[in-house]
Amino acid sequence: MELLVSILALGSTYALLAAGIVIIYKASRVINFAHGELAIVGAYVFHSAGFLTGTTLTALSLFTAIVVAATASALFGVVIYFALMRRLLGRPTFVAAMVTIGLAIILKAAIVVIWNSRSVGIPIGRQALYNFAGGGRISWIDVISVLTCAAAFAALAIFFQLTRLGRQFRGAAENPLLAAQRQVNINLILAIAWSVAVFSAALAGVLFGSRSMLSPQSTIIGLSGLTAALVGGLDSLRGAAIGGLLVAAATYLTARLISPTLAETVPFLILLIVMSWRPWGLFGTVEEINRV
């Protein structure tokens, strides 16, 4: 039972990360390799904003932190788009993917320069909600993680299914030139995509930092998010959710039941198995696998 709760909590964080990657892919066919770094940097910003005035998180500082982190991440997404990604429109998506790798390197170095590599934790919701007989417990943060991710997914689903802008996303992704000629505002769509993606990354980062801790090395969660997105299908939000849970489950079950040291490799093996069977992911659109 405790295992299930842990898998749900971690899985929802991975699912949120995967969702961010999916959004960018849906809009532009670019795979964002900097997602983990964006998440952790966002969480660091949150931490700094929250602890700016004291050594404990009060209600006011928590609120400030949320506002600051939310606006900063959304704005940063727009900046990334206009400064970097926009210039790569029309080039092969492979190039854009490499640029995100470069961005990832810079962001990771930024943590060193700005925060001096100090590892921090975000002490939100660490109190126990319910204690199991066997010794484990559910903390508030576990519940908050799952609920927040569910809410985020619901919002995204509504956006993509029901709003006009959401439907235009796929058109923009498949053929930007054609979509632009049909009066789809490509720049607006892509800017929104990046903004929402970076915001969701920061959100995932904060949730992750609350359950675990933050350090420049924590950016590895981006790889888990990417694996989750690939497993679920790079253009499927539903796939992102399932993929996130699958990756979390694979990691946990391997660590607990097979061997802790293999926990790192198993998600990749799951990915390989899924890809051998359905190369476009569990819920992705069936298409020629010619992506980078």
Partner 1 sequence: MLPEPYQRAVIAIVVAVVLCLPVFSGDYFLHLMNLSLIAVIGAIGINLLTGYCGQLSLGQASFMAIGAFSTAILAQRYGMPFFVAIPASCCAGAAVGFLVGLPALRFRGIYLAITTLAMHYAIIYVLTNYQAIVGPSASAGITVPPPSIEGFKLTSERGWYYALLIAAAAVLMFSLNLARSYIGRAWVAIRDRDIAAETAGVNVPRYKLLAFTISAALAALAGSLGAYFTTVVTVEEYTLELAIIYLAMIIVGGMGSVVGSVFGAVFITLLPFAVQRAFDALPWHFGTGIFGVQEAAIGAAIIGFLLLEPDGLIEIYRRIATYFERWPFRYREIKPSGAR
Partner 2 sequence: MYNVRVIGTAFVVLAAACAATVGARAQDYKIGYITDLSGPLAGSYTPTWQGFELYIKALNGRGGVNGRKVNVTIDDDGLRADRAVAAAKKQVESNEVLGIFGLSLSSTQAPVIAEMQKVGVPVASTFSAILDALPPAKPDYFSTGVTFEVAGEAIGTLQKRIVPSGKVVGITFDSVGGRAANNHNKLAVEKEGYTWDEVLFPVRTADFTPFAQTAAAMKPAMIVGHYGAEQNIGVIAALRGAGYAGPYIIAAYGASEDTARQAAAQAGSGENIYMVSRYAVPTDNAPGMSDLAAAAKKYGIANPTSMHVTGWVLGMFAEQALKNCGAECTREGLDKAMQSVKLDTKGLTGGPIEMSADNHYGPTYWRLYHWETDKFVGVGDWLKKTGLEFPAK
**Quick one: which of 41, 19, 29, 151 has its CA closest to 93?**
29
Closer residue to partner 1 (CB): 54 or 279: 279
Closest distance to partner 1 from the beta carbon of 77 (Å): 17
Site residues for partner 1, 250-269, by CB under 8 A, read 261-262, 264-265, 268-269
Q: Please tell me the count of residues contacting partner 1 according to CB under 8 A.
A: 42
Closest distance to partner 2 from the beta carbon of 89 (Å): 21
Q: Does 110 bind partner 2 (CB under 8 A)?
A: no
Q: Does 54 bind partner 1 (CB under 8 A)?
A: no
Closest distance to partner 1 from the beta carbon of 206 (Å): 22
Closer residue to partner 1 (CB): 18 or 152: 18
Give me 53's structure tokens. Answer: 């005035």
Residue with token string 């390799």: 33
Which residues are bridge partners to 128 per DSSP?
A: 139
Closer residue to partner 2 (CB): 101 or 112: 112
Judged by CB under 8 A, the stretch of 91-99, 121-129, 164-172, 230-238 that binds partner 2 is: 121-129
Question: How far is residue 19's CA from residue 242's CA, in Å, rounded to a whole number?
Answer: 11
Question: How far is residue 55's CA from residue 233's CA, in Å, rounded to a whole number?
Answer: 42
Residue from 15, 17, 103, 242 touching partner 1 (CB under 8 A): that is 103
Compute the C-alpha angle 257/260/265, nearest 5°.
Answer: 105
Residue with token string 């090395």: 217
Site residues for partner 2, 244-263, by CB under 8 A, read 251-252, 255-256, 260-261, 263
Q: Does 91 bind partner 2 (CB under 8 A)?
A: no
Alpha carbons within 13 angstroms on the beta-carbon side of residue 130 total 7
SS3 of residue 125 by DSSP: coil
Residue from 130, 132, 182, 279 touching partner 2 (CB under 8 A): that is 132
Rounded to whole angstroms, what are the CA distances from 129 to 1, 138, 142? Answer: 15, 5, 9
Rounded to whole angstroms, what are the CA distances from 57 to 43, 62, 64, 209, 273? Answer: 14, 6, 10, 14, 44
Pick from partner 2, partner 1, none: which does 171 bind, CB < 5 to 8 A by kind?
none
Pick from partner 2, partner 1, none: which does 273 bind, CB < 5 to 8 A by kind?
none
Closest distance to partner 2 from the beta carbon of 116 (Å): 6
Pick from partner 2, partner 1, none: which does 212 bind, CB < 5 to 8 A by kind?
partner 2
Give me 274's structure tokens. Answer: 């899924």
Q: Does 133 bind partner 1 (CB under 8 A)?
A: no
Question: How far is residue 82's CA from residue 290's CA, in Å, rounded to a whole number?
Answer: 26
SS3 of residue 139 by DSSP: strand
Q: Does 56 bind partner 1 (CB under 8 A)?
A: no
> Which residue type sits at 137?
R
**Quick one: which of 202, 190, 210, 199 has its CA closest to 155?**
199
Q: Does 70 bind partner 1 (CB under 8 A)?
A: no
Applying CB under 8 A, the residues found at the interface with partner 2 are 2-3, 6, 10, 109, 112, 116-123, 126-128, 131-132, 134-137, 139, 208, 211-213, 215-218, 220-221, 224, 251-252, 255-256, 260-261, 263-264
